[in-house]
Structures are given as structure tokens and as C-alpha cells.
Structure 1
């Protein structure tokens, strides 16, 4: 497996070079795999993050080495993302506590808004 350079962002050509997948194939995979969503800058250029490059490498492995179909690879990603969601830890507080905290925040924000509307009390 190719080594991913230690960078935050990659252009499509860099991803193609690192992964050995042509740019037109990368663009096609973006339409087929919801997990692969590079950010587009103002000029419309795709900017991939490290996780996107890792996703491309996994898609390539599934399609070319494991001989999955596009639909099979998509299904495989769906299963692995649902198991990731199950591993999420609880937040450590109850819905009741959260409700009280939110109510308190709301009161404080309303107080700030009232102060801004009427001016400070003297």
C-alpha cells in the first residue's frame, strides 16, 4: 500500500499519484460513494483530506483486489459506518440535565438580549 504524505490537504492530481487511481475515476467514485466527499474551494477545485485519501485506498482495495462490485463496496462501507456509530460513547449526562442546562443558557441569552435592546440598568 502506498504511503500517504504527511499533509493536511491534497489536490486531485496528488491523490491520483498517491493512490494510483486516475482523476476521472476519483470523480466517478465521488458520485457512487457518499463517504468520499472532498471539499471544493471557491475555484471549484477538489481538496481531499487524509481521511478521503484513505477512503480512496480502501475503495480501490475492495474493487480491484477483493473484486467487489461498486454496489458491494458501497454496501460494505454502509456496514462498517454503522458499526462505527455503535462504538460511540455516551455523553455522560442525562437528557434531564441537558434540558436544564439548555434552559439556563436560554435564560441568560434572553437576559443579554434584553440588556442590548434596552441598555444597561443603572
Structure 2
């Protein structure tokens, strides 16, 4: 899903998009000030594309790199630009790998 297609996303959409439980999103919201979803009168959270990018950075540090929440908070405060560059590089490499795997699978089907 392209996160720039809408202005706001419900928590269930973000959860599905990123493969994270809604409880994790709510928990991280309390620990990272960069995640600041808006709420309607009924308390439904609405995340912006900027919130989603912040969550992706946190997921990269916590899930992929294995950092604890406190270490991830400190890393984002200390070196946000470096984290963003590393994250973007890893994402590009994952896409390249997926493309290469698709090509390899196609070649195997031709045999």
C-alpha cells in the first residue's frame, strides 16, 4: 500500500500495512513523541504518512536491529539522519532482492 495515497490512516490500516499489532502501535505512541496520531471525538486514532514513517524507523531499530526501546529512542535523538539513510538503504536492498528472487523463480519455471 502506498502511504501517500491518503492523508490519514486508521490504526487497523497501519497495523496491517506494517505487520505490527495495534497494541504495539499504541505502546510505541506513549514512548516516542514523533508518533502523534490525531483522534476523533470517539477516540479513533488517525495516523499521517509522517507518523507511519516514524513507526517504520522504530520498527527497523527495534525489530530488525534488535534494539531496546530506550536505545532506539536515544539513537533517533542522536543520529536521526543516519538512521533514516540506513533504513532507506535496507529497504532498497530488500526490493532489489525481491525483484531478483522473482526473476530467479521465473527462470526456474522455464526449465
Structure 1, unmatched stretches of 5+, are: 84-122
Q: CA deviation at 1:81?
A: 5.6
SS in structure 2 of the partner of residue 7 of structure 1: coil
Aligned residue in 2 for 1:9: 8
Where 2:20 maps in the other structure, the secondary structure is: coil
What residue in structure 2 maps to residue 104 of structure 1?
none
How do residues 48-87 of structure 1 correspond to structure 2 at under 5 angstroms? 48-80=47-79
Deviation at 1:82, TM superposition (A): 9.4
Tell me the secondary structure at the aligned position of residue 47 of structure 1.
strand
CA RMSD of aligned residues (A): 2.0
Aligned length: 82
**TM-score, structure 1 length as denominator?**
0.61
Structure 1 match to 2:87:
none
Larger Rg: 1
More helix by share: 2
Superposition pairs for residues 32-111 of structure 1, below 5 Å? 32-80=31-79
Distance of 2:36 and 2:45 partners within structure 1: 9
| Counterpart-to-counterpart distance in 1, 2:3 and 2:14 | 9
Aligned equivalents of 1:20, 1:82: Cα separation in 2: 24
Structure 2 distance, partners of 1:27, 1:21, is: 11
Unaligned runs of 5+ in 2: 83-111
